[in-house]
Structure 1
Amino acid sequence: MKKLALAAALAAAATTATAGNLSEPVMEAPVIVEDTAASSSAAGTWVPLLILAVVAGVVIAD
């Protein structure tokens, strides 16, 4: 009877020790967000040049 109880205890311990699956873990790909709005530095240059041209035109016209 002792051997049966010992075998049952060892079998129960062995099943809990090897619990789990053998499949590879699934890794999700990282999400990369790319800003697609192209900011142009030329827009910041054209506005002051346009204002300067208008002011110069007004000064020359007077």
Structure 2
Amino acid sequence: MKKLALAAALSLAATTAFAGGMAEPVMEEEVVTQEASSSSAGIVVPLLLLLLVAAAASSN
């Protein structure tokens, strides 16, 4: 009876190790976002900075 109980316990322990099986990994798709940019966006900030410097220089 002890051998039967031991065999049952070992068989249950062995089956739980393979319960999940080998599954292929699920890869999530990479989200690609495109930033909206205008052609004058690179010019506006330096022009505003130049205007501020010119205004500060003319006030002295």
Which TM-score bucket, shorter chain as reference?
0.5 to 0.7
> Which has the larger Rg?
1
Q: Deviations over 1:23-49 (max 9, x none)?
A: 2111111111112x340128x67xxxx
Give the distance between the partners of 1:17 and 1:40, measured in 2 at CA: 60
Structure 1, unpaired ranges of 5+: 46-62
Runs of 4+ in 1 over 2 A off after TM superposition: none
Structure 2, unpaired ranges of 5+: 45-60
State the AA in 1 paired with 2:2. Answer: K
State the AA in 2 paired with 1:16. Answer: T
Q: CA RMSD in A?
A: 2.2
Question: Which residue of structure 1 aligns with residue 24 of structure 2?
Answer: 24
Question: Which residue of structure 2 aligns with residue 39 of structure 1?
Answer: 38
**Identity, % of aligned pairs?**
65
Secondary structure of residue in 1 paired with 2:34: coil
Give the distance between the partners of 1:34 and 1:40, measured in 2 at CA: 15
How many residue pairs get aligned? The number is 43
